[in-house]
Structure 1
Amino acid sequence: MKTLRNLVGGLAGAAALNIVHETVRHLVNTAPRVDLLGKEALSKGLRKAGVNPPSGTKLYLATLAADVVSNAVYYSIVGYGKKRHLLTRGAAYGLAAGVGALTLPKPMGLSDAPVTRTNTTKALTVAWYLLGGLVTAAVIKKAL
């Protein structure tokens, strides 16, 4: 039951992150483009595995699905630990994911430009992952 609750919370956090990202990227020029980073990562990973990656809408949808699943699993970890530290863990995991989104692409051989091109882009990247962590914690807390 605890694992299911945590996964539902993680899914809520991942959904919040992606809804904000997908909405704002169409409205704000300096918005992070995590979708581009994800497409590059998925394409490179599939090529290394000897698989031709999809293109166009199929690549976009595969990337979005992989992003939601991976973020849901990551955020679900927020639910493990003492109940009284739930919101703090949500914030910490969200901040860690945001900082990771800024610092990990280059060492992974990916372009960091979609998330680091301006200070606003960097701040929004971290803020959106923080939001995902906090939504996760709130949903899990409500289910307790």
Structure 2
Amino acid sequence: MNEKLTAETIAQSLGSGLAGAFVLTVLHESVRRVVPEAPRADLLGMRAIAKGLKAAGQQPPPDDKLHTLALGGDIVANTLYYSLVGLGGRENAWLLGSTLGAAAGVGAVALPGPMGLGTEPSARTPATAAMTIGWYLVGGLAAAAVYQLFGRSNR
């Protein structure tokens, strides 16, 4: 890595992560409304929040509020995750973005079942699983693209 860790590179990494998270969320929320096999990351988030609140002895909020909380949580978590694209510097952004995206997609398919969140939202059909992995990959690539664009604007 040739770049120093500065406030500017941290801001660029976070901005890139936000772009990746935004692209991912827009894909999930748009396509799920028209494609029956589309992944339902929103349901996984809602289930995770409800499960955590119940474990803490709290009553989960109504579904509409739970949905909003899940989307907000997804944006924050995915922003932080995709911001890791900056760790490898500009020369490795594409490789790191695609690796982060693919890993997140595989995790989104493989982990919900063992976590007690169910497999239907991200892996109910082969098409659902493929879209899940593909969309997280697209999020990682979007983060890499934005990180590269930040580098061009500094030249």
TM-score of Structure 1 vs Structure 2, range by shorter chain: over 0.9
Letter in 2 for 1:3: I
**CA RMSD, Structure 1 to Structure 2 (Å):** 0.9
> Which residue is 1:100 aligned to?
107
Q: CA deviation at 1:12?
A: 0.5
TM-superposition CA deviations, 1:42-65 (whole Å, max 9, x none): 100111122222112111100100
Q: Deviating runs (4+, > 3 A) in structure 1?
A: none
Question: What number of residue pairs does the alignment pair up?
Answer: 144
Which residue does the alignment assign to 1:24? 31
Query: Structure 2, unaligned stretches of length 5 or more?
Result: 1-7
Aligned to 1:51: 58
User: Does the 8 Å contact 1:32/1:115 carry over to 2?
Assistant: yes
Residue 69 of structure 1 corresponds to 76
For residues 84 and 15 of structure 1, the distance between their equivalents in structure 2, rounded to whole angstroms, comes to: 23
**1:39 and 2:38 are equivalent in the alignment:** no
Q: Does 1:127 align with 2:134?
A: yes
Alignment match of 2:89 (pick from 82, 98, 102): 82
2:115 aligned partner, one-letter code = M
- Quick one: distance in 2 between partners of 1:62 and 1:46? 12
Distance in 2 separating the partners of 1:88 and 1:43: 35
1:3 and 2:13 are equivalent in the alignment: no
2:38·2:128 contact (CA, 8 Å) conserved in 1?
A: yes
Segments of 5+ residues of structure 1 without an aligned counterpart are: none
2:22 is matched with which residue? 15
Distance 2:124 2:115 in 1: 18
Does the CA contact (< 8 Å) of 1:37 and 1:112 recur in 2? no
Q: Say which SS state the counterpart of residue 58 (structure 1) adopts.
A: helix
1:117 aligns with 2:124: yes
1:82 deviates by: 3.3
For 2:116 and 2:64, how far apart are their aligned partners in 1?
24
Identity of aligned residues (%): 47
Structure whose CA Rg is larger: 2
Rounded to whole Å, the distance in 1 between the matches of 2:149 and 2:54 is 42
Letter paired with 2:100: Y
Bigger Cα displacement from structure 2, 24-33 vs 49-58:
49-58
Q: Which amino acid aligns with 1:11?
A: L
